[in-house]
Amino acid sequence: MTTLLTKTYEGPLVFDFQSLGGLLRELPRRGTRGLRRQKPGWEAVALELSTRLPVHADTLRIASDLGLQIATLSARLDAVRTFKRTADKLAEVAAETEAFMEDQREGLIALVVEAVRKGAKRTDPALMTAFEKTVGYHGQHGAKAAQTRRQKEEAAAVQAAEAAEKAADLSAVETTAVVIAGGVECEVCSQA
């Protein structure tokens, strides 16, 4: 078992999302592509719209309730974001709890397997048969790691043999060249 400093989750376990009924939308795959998103500076714009839009709606020739529609959408957006933060945190805590509990269970299984192996060695070899699936389950990672290690060693050996063969081929190639420099011939014996 892994020794971790853990603490009990103290966040909300119950959160009522009924107010979002009819608001949540499921989009097709990649459906958010091309949607316009909130930009930096929204808070200042929201304040400006809430104070100036009611005064200038007629001059701008837009619906007088447009400011109310924007404010309503903003409030709904805040509710969805609260839902998202809570759901994300709960999903994170659930995943961490799942991993932690699996680790605890695997630690207990390791204790059983160790006891079975010792008992089979000391007193009753039939214990290995009685707990065959448990021992096999526990040893999966070790067997896979050994297989991976063997495969990597074999690949490294093949690669080293190919590199040695290539180096031998290069050193075995002797090229004789006659270089004429100022009427003097000189022979270069080994050139790679």
114-151 tens-digit pLDDT: 999 999 999 999 999 999 999 999 888 766 677 778 88
Mean pLDDT score across all residues of the chain: 84
- Is the confidence at residue 4, as pLDDT, over 80? no
pTM flag (> 0.75): no
Q: For the segment 38-56, what is each residue's pLDDT rounded down to a tens digit?
A: 999 999 999 999 999 999 9
**Residue pointed to by tokens 């603490």:** 7
Which of 10, 9, 18 lies closest to 79 in space, CA to CA? Answer: 18
Supply 72's token pair. Answer: 């309503």
Q: Helix H segments across 61-139?
A: 66-122, 126-130, 132-138
CA 160 to CA 177: how far, in whole Å? Answer: 32
Cβ proximity of 111 and 123 under 8 Å: no
Q: Domain extents for the chain? A: 39-121, 139-192
